């Protein structure tokens, strides 16, 4: 005789344990206008996964995220996000896809002419909420989630950068999306606050959401591990050994200052975490035939290059620091190079998508 109770229990457990793919790309070509940014992109992300996109500025991180929420069309290859086919999606369906994707921008994109409550209320009303009591309850829920229940009456200019970014995260959570896409979410906030923000994202992921973070701040990955995909040379590859390689490089976080310390060949170089750049910089010496290339992305191959090219040179301060003088002990000379800083944003930056949810 069939034990229907046990059979039903097995079926329920099977459904619970089955993890579905929520983001999938096959041989996709990521394009910005007529320019190919990434080609032959294939990846599969399941529900509840915590994923990082890494790579230098302009390598395609933002373009990839824009493709996932259909700001950039997918013309070549296949793509599926939350059951929507990216290559076949209709314009009328894009708003519904974006309700499945909570989007966190680096530059906040809060409405400056209204307070926090009104910012969040605007999104809910734009997505069909009409019951004022339900709206109030939902806003209170997300503000509690990001630990800012007392900021509902504040205007954006009255909040710190970290508080603004947490309000942006609260906005992304309003419609309980299964996916959170965060584009350099810690780029404009201090180190301590960035750790707390990513910790919140990790907690959200642990509750069953899928979280994808584009970042170049590798210390976050060491502290909050996840799958790592690298955008490089027009391709996207999963970096299975990323955290292990960081460990081999003896990259540690100074708990007192929260700076990154690189131990190479028994000598240490300290780089403030918030000062990390993402491009190689050239420090010109008085001898025009000699240049030191200082890679600011912390990957093992580039660290070896530092050792090779600075064998007789000691870099006292990182060129990414806003310092008046950089001391380089080559024939005991002091130089003051003018290092031109240029923060080039990945692509042209997203439009205000947070409110295009109707």
Q: What is the pLDDT of residues 198-239, one digit of tens each?
A: 999 999 999 999 999 999 888 899 899 999 999 999 999 999
Tell me phi and psi for residue 197, to 5 degrees. -65, -45
Give the chain's end-to-end CA distance (angstroms, integer).
53
**CA neighbours closer than 13 Å in the CB half-sphere of residue 212:** 26
Nearest to 194 by CA among 172, 158, 161, 168: 161
pLDDT band at 243 (very low <50, low <70, confident <90, very high): confident
Q: What 8-state DSSP symbol labels residue 3? A: -
- Residue 251: both structure tokens together: 């990259």
Q: Read off the pTM.
A: 0.66
Q: Is the pLDDT of residue 318 over 80?
A: no
Domain boundaries, the chain: 18-241, 273-335
Residues contacting residue 16 through CB under 8 Å, at least 6 positions apart: none
Find the largest Cα–Cα distance for the chain.
91
In degrees, to the nearest 5, what angle opens at C-alpha 92 toward C-alphas 88 and 93?
55
pLDDT band at 264 (very low <50, low <70, confident <90, very high): very low
pLDDT tens digits for range 1-57: 445 445 445 544 444 457 799 999 999 999 988 899 999 999 999 999 999 999 988
Measured in whole angstroms, the distance separating CA 21 from the mean position of its chain's CA atoms is 21
Cβ contact 292:282 at 8 Å: yes
> Which helix H or strand E contains 39, and what residues bound it?
strand 35-46
Distance CA 102, CA 86 (A): 17
Protein fold of 18-241? Rossmann fold (3.40.50)
Measured in whole angstroms, the distance separating CA 15 from the mean position of its chain's CA atoms is 31
Q: What 8-state DSSP symbol labels residue 237? A: E
Summarize the confidence of residues 336-342 as an average pLDDT: 42
With tokens 């829920």, the residue in question is 141
């Amino acid at each position: 005789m069939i034990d229907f109770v046990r059979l039903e229990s097995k079926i329920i457990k099977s459904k619970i344990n089955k993890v579905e793919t929520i983001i999938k790309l096959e041989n996709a070509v990521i394009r910005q206008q007529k320019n190919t940014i990434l080609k032959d992109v294939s990846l599969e992300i399941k529900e509840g996964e915590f994923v990082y996109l890494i790579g230098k500025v302009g390598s395609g991180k933002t373009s990839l995220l824009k493709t996932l929420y259909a700001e950039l069309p997918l013309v070549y290859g296949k793509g599926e996000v939350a059951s929507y086919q990216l290559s076949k999606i209709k314009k009328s369906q894009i708003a519904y896809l974006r309700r499945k994707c909570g989007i966190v921008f680096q530059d906040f994109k809060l409405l400056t002419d209204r307070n926090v409550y009104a910012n969040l209320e605007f999104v809910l009303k734009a997505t069909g909420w009409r019951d004022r009591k339900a709206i109030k309850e939902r806003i209170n829920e997300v503000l509690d989630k990001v630990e800012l229940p007392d900021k509902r009456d504040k205007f954006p200019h009255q909040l710190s950068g970290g508080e603004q970014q947490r309000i942006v995260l609260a906005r992304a959570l309003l419609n309980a999306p299964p996916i959170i896409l965060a584009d350099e979410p810690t780029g404009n906030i201090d180190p301590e606050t960035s750790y707390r923000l990513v910790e919140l994202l990790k907690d959200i992921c642990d509750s069953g959401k899928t979280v994808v973070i584009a970042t170049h701040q590798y210390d976050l990955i060491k502290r909050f591990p996840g799958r790592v995909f690298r955008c490089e040379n027009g391709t996207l590859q999963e970096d299975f050994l990323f955290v292990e390689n960081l460990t081999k490089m003896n990259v540690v976080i100074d708990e007192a200052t929260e700076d990154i310390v690189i131990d190479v060949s028994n000598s240490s170089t300290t780089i403030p975490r918030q000062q990390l750049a993402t491009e190689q910089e050239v420090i010109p010496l008085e001898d025009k035939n000699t240049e030191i290339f200082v890679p600011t992305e912390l990957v093992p191959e580039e660290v070896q290059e530092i050792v090779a090219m600075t064998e007789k040179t000691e870099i006292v301060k990182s060129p990414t620091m806003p310092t008046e003088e950089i001391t380089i002990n080559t024939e005991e000379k002091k130089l003051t190079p003018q290092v031109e800083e240029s923060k080039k944003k990945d692509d042209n930056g997203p439009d205000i998508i947070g409110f295009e949810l109707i």
